[in-house]
Chains A and B, each alone.
Chain A
Amino acid sequence: MTDQEKILNEVTGSDYKFGFQTNIETETIPKGLNEEVVRIISAKKEEPEWLTESRLKAFRHWQTLQMPDWAHLRIPEIDYQDIIYYAAPKQDAKYESMDEVDPELLDTFNRLGIPLEEQKQLAGVAVDAVMDSVSVKTTFQDTLADKGIIFCSFSEAVKNHPDLIKKYMGSVVPYTDNYFAALNSAVFSDGSFCYIPRGVRCPMELSTYFRINAANTGQFERTLIVAEEDSYVSYLEGCTAPMRDENQLHAAIVEIVAMENAEVKYSTVQNWYPGNKEGIGGIYNFVTKRGICKGDSSKISWTQVETGSAVTWKYPSCILKGDNSVGEFYSVAVTNNYQQADTGTKMIHIGKNTRSTIISKGISAGKSQNSYRGLVKVLKGAENARNYSQCDSLLLGDQCGAHTFPYLEVDNRSAVVEHEATTSKIGEDQIFYCNQRGIDTENAISLIVNGYAKEVLNKLPMEFAVEAQKLLAITLEGSVG
């Protein structure tokens, strides 16, 4: 064993900083999944008949499906009857003023760095805070409403903007899409909706913060973003969960629709509880994220920093339908200990002169497995499509794995598709160079890793980038001595 391996093997106590649990009265329904449960969820949310029916249709379809097994993941059998599908902090209605919000809840979000009092918030970020199955509070709604922007919880949107929901929900990710999409479409609880009207540049970052709190529950949220012609929005998503020995399921759907000349930036810092050093506990994260560039010259850009979850299965994708539309995917995925990630993207070129860029940086430590899986598909009519993909893997130690699975389907000869991939080990020489300048090994690794991921981190909004850098360091704490 080399000295570096020894260092890497020496596990120091690195703790998940968001692992606390909030003691708050929670209303849950019994474990298990059947049509009755689907109806109960729908009834709790006072949903219209069409939505109940749509849930049931999805549920019936889900029952005919098998869990996908093509990913480079080892997942123990999940007992879907052993999960609670609805849990909500007890409250009468959504809080109108801050005084009504349970102090425990406020405290929870404060500890997560997401103060819900508007005056305490980062200027320029509106937050929808979702705990377990419901949205707790959405800030800055009035400010946004002045511009005609709708930013609210999904449940509210169902009540207040049923036409928009009916029109767009499931239009990008139909319930038939895959196993987890079907499951989500049946039991989804809450999430965020945002609508940017024609010609409006959203003046602040919109952000949703997802928190799992209750035990034995799954979280199934949906996010829908619609950007009308000539509009722009930057959207952030963050997530954490308490430390528990059991695995918890998270299966979300995110849909984005961009009309002509619209631009949507979607950034995620995913920090679900990853399990402990022996691989016990942690979130199973199965997420379907997809955007459609419906109008000409529209643009959708995904940036993700994936540090959490025991298992990550996630491929934020772009359907480039409009001519001259642009899709981007920037990703940093870090795995440590026994974490497993199979993540990447799909870029589907349909329109002419469509362009896509994929930059993926995988960082593996401990005994983790980290895979990039990406599809670039160019359809017959996509004249002059361009794709550039770059997939880099960085290994810390030699008990982890990095894998790259690029798929290419090109049906138009004018397409130019480039793919580059590298795998490197973090250099002992680099670490020693830092040591010689007084920087200890832990900080050296954090510096080097952040440098490696810089291209992607630079795409994040400022406040998020700083958070993400810290998170990378924390995730890799304990991967070195």
Chain B
Amino acid sequence: MLEIKDLKVNIEDKEILKGINLSVKAGEVHAIMGPNGSGKSTLASALAGRDYFNITHGKIIYEGKDLTELTPEDRAREGIFLGFQYPVEIPGVSMVNFLRTSINSMRKYRGQDPLPAGDFLKLMREKKKIVEIDSDLTNRSVNEGFSGGEKKKNEIFQMALLEPKLAILDETDSGLDIDALRIVSNGVNKLRSPENATIIITHYQRLLDYIVPDVVHVLYKGRIVKSGDKSLAKELEEHGYEWIKQEVDANA
């Protein structure tokens, strides 16, 4: 589904990603871990098409298409969803209006008619249940005044509504209380299917108890320096990143 080949990304003149290789197949869940500032969010943003990241080298192939040739909105319409590490507030824009605009833009891209208001509200109700999100929140403006955890829940709610093929969740677990963590993980698990794939960026192996990954990668200084199964996450939890850093820096 997703093939990243030797991807190098700059911000201004600084190289942040220094040759990423990653292959994600339909049905898989990949976890990406790594120290602060190692480039995890940069990778996520580059996949979503944030424009101030310059791709200087390499390829991103998604479903056989060169992703870099698509605008951010077309990537979204092709089924790529980014759960933001820091979801932004859009004052005065109601969740309902925002999500309807979103869903209908996607439908238009697929040549479908806009969803009638009644059907849309029904769909919202259904999906609200999956993430156990309060109607109080969905009646407000997009993320405005939401607590940190509420914003994260709202990202998963949107994911449930949009049913992406490839979901990239950037630290969706940080800031969630224990109950919310369980709810959000359940939400992600319910949406898991043989047709779609998920990339989970996280600092905590705890999340991976709920959402069991097929592969765990460690990103460090802009490179994937280690990959393994879920036991790698356990190892990191126990020993931290120091041993990996030493390994990598010794070889450098």
Contacts and interface: CB of A to CB of B under 8 A. Distances in A.
A439 B73 contact: yes
A429 B88 contact: yes
Interface in B74-116: 76-77, 81-82, 84, 87-88, 90-93, 97-99, 101-103, 105-106, 109
Nearest to B161: A437
Chain A interface residue bracket vs B = 20 to 34
B88 A438 contact: no
Contacts of B101: 439, 443, 447
Contact of A3 (B52, B82, B87, B88): B52
B138 interface: no
Interface in A435-461: 435-441, 443, 447-448, 450-455
B90 A447 contact: yes
B229 interface: no
Given A443-B101, A447-B98, A447-B101, A438 B106 contact: yes
A362 to B, nearest CB: 15
A438 B98 contact: no
25 contacts: A3-B52, A429-B88, A430-B90, A432-B51, A433-B87, A433-B88, A435-B72, A435-B73, A436-B72, A436-B73, A436-B81, A436-B84, A437-B76, A437-B102, A438-B77, A438-B103, A438-B109, A439-B105, A440-B71, A440-B105, A450-B93, A451-B90, A451-B93, A452-B91, A455-B92
Contact of B88 (A427, A439, A440, A451): A427
Contacts of B71: 435, 440
Given A438-B102, A439-B73, A448-B93, A432 B50 contact: yes
Nearest to A451: B92
A435 to B, nearest CB: 4
B39 interface: no
B73 A438 contact: yes
Nearest to B50: A432
B70 to A, nearest CB: 11
A454 B92 contact: yes
8 residue pairs, one from A and one from B, having the closest CB atoms: A451-B92, A451-B93, A435-B72, A454-B92, A437-B102, A438-B76, A438-B105, A438-B106
Interface residues of B, number: 31
Contacts of A433: 84, 87-88, 90
Contacts of A427: 88
Interface string A401-441: 00000000000000000000000000101101111111111
Contacts of B76: 435-438
Contact of B92 (A2, A3, A439, A452): A452
A447 B92 CA distance: 9
Nearest to A454: B92
Contacts of B72: 432, 435-436
Nearest to B86: A429
B181 to A, nearest CB: 23
B44 to A, nearest CB: 10
Contacts of A448: 90, 93
Given A430-B88, A438-B109, A450-B93, 4 more contacts: A435-B76, A436-B82, A438-B162, A455-B92
Interface string A245-258: 00000000000000
B105 A447 contact: no
B188 interface: no
